[in-house]
Amino acid sequence: MTEVKLLLFDVFGTLADWHGSIAREVHGLLAARGLAVDGAGFATAWRAEYQGAMEEVRSGRIPFCKLDLLHRRNLDIVLKAQGLDHLDEATRRQLNLAWHRLDGWPDVTPGLARLRLKYRLAPCSNGNISLMADLARRNGWHWDAITGAELARDYKPKAIVYLSAVEAFDCAPHEAMMVAAHSSDLAAAAAAGLRTAFIARPNEHGPGIGETAASVPVDVSANGLIDLAERLGG
């Protein structure tokens, strides 16, 4: 582990409580317009469209586009499915930007501050750069750079996303560690030559719905970023 210089972070689920935040935003915005909507159910349905939309890009069926655009496409699908196709354009834009207003898990801001004393830090997310910047400003996260899908012009778990982040910092793959709450993300990063750290987020998809242990081999497992800092000697 002494060779690791760079920590790369998944964001949705690992650092940010997307489910709770989107549920809150959906309920608030639609309730203000007199619409009773199950915010938690809507958040789950919206996220369920996530991988399929990115696969359109990964497979080459459509050109690369930012996640904001895929989120909007997915939002329109869910609104139609839930009988809310009449929702006005301004509200749709506000809803789509809810992904820019996610709250971090409580351990993340202090954990990143500790890790930053020893390592260079960057998100390696499928989220676009403006989205990552907004989340950082909202939550007090300090990055050395923003890497990920927009830099690579492709989506995880394609190897180019991890390797372009590593290359941006002039590191070799084994000098970087991918930190994520998703075993599939870590398996792909390991296949690209990175070290890996699993973060348990048992409530990612709602209370009691999330990965509590990695289902693939990893270098480190932790219960949050403060725990990760302690395990890495920070």
Same domain? 160 vs 138: yes
Of 12, 38, 230, 6, nearest in space to 131 by CA = 12
Side-chain half-sphere exposure of 214, counting CA atoms within 13 A: 22
Reported as a single tens digit per residue, the pLDDT across 186-229 is 999 999 999 999 999 999 999 999 999 999 999 999 999 999 99
Mean pLDDT confidence for 16-45: 95
CATH number at residue 76: 1.10.150.240
Kindly state whether residue 65 falls inside one of the protein's structural domains.
yes
Same domain? 171 vs 224: yes
The Cα 153–Cα 132 span in angstroms is 15
Reported as a single tens digit per residue, the pLDDT across 109-163 is 999 999 999 999 999 999 999 999 999 999 999 999 999 999 999 999 999 999 9
Q: Where are the alpha helices (DSSP H) in 61-158?
A: 67-81, 89-96, 108-116, 129-139, 149-152
Same domain? 81 vs 118: no
CATH number at residue 123: 3.40.50.1000
The Cα 199–Cα 209 span in angstroms is 14
Which strands make up the sheet holding 220-222, listed edge to edge? Answer: 147-148, 120-125, 6-9, 176-180, 195-199, 220-222
The Cα 209–Cα 19 span in angstroms is 10
Same domain? 190 vs 107: yes
Kindly state whether residue 1 falls inside one of the protein's structural domains.
no
Same domain? 88 vs 194: no
Measured between alpha carbons, how far is residue 164 from residues 99, 121, 149, 159 in Å?
Answer: 24, 14, 9, 8
The Cα 169–Cα 139 span in angstroms is 24
The Cα 150–Cα 116 span in angstroms is 23
Please tell me the total count of domains within the chain: 2
Same domain? 28 vs 132: no
Last-in-domain residue among 46, 80, 101: 101
Interacting residues of 129 by C-beta distance below 8 A, sequence separation 6+ = 146, 148, 150, 151
Same domain? 205 vs 111: yes
Same domain? 97 vs 150: no
Domain that residue 49 falls in: 18-101
Kindly state whether residue 83 falls inside one of the protein's structural domains.
yes
Reported as a single tens digit per residue, the pLDDT across 61-98 is 999 999 999 999 999 999 999 999 999 999 999 999 99
The Cα 231–Cα 118 span in angstroms is 13
Last-in-domain residue among 69, 101, 133: 101
Q: Is 234 a residue whose pLDDT tops 70? A: no
Q: Is 1 a residue whose pLDDT tops 80? A: no
pLDDT on residue 32: 87
Last-in-domain residue among 47, 72, 101: 101
Q: Is 166 a residue whose pLDDT tops 80? A: yes
Angle between helices 183-191 and 159-168 (to 10 degrees): 70
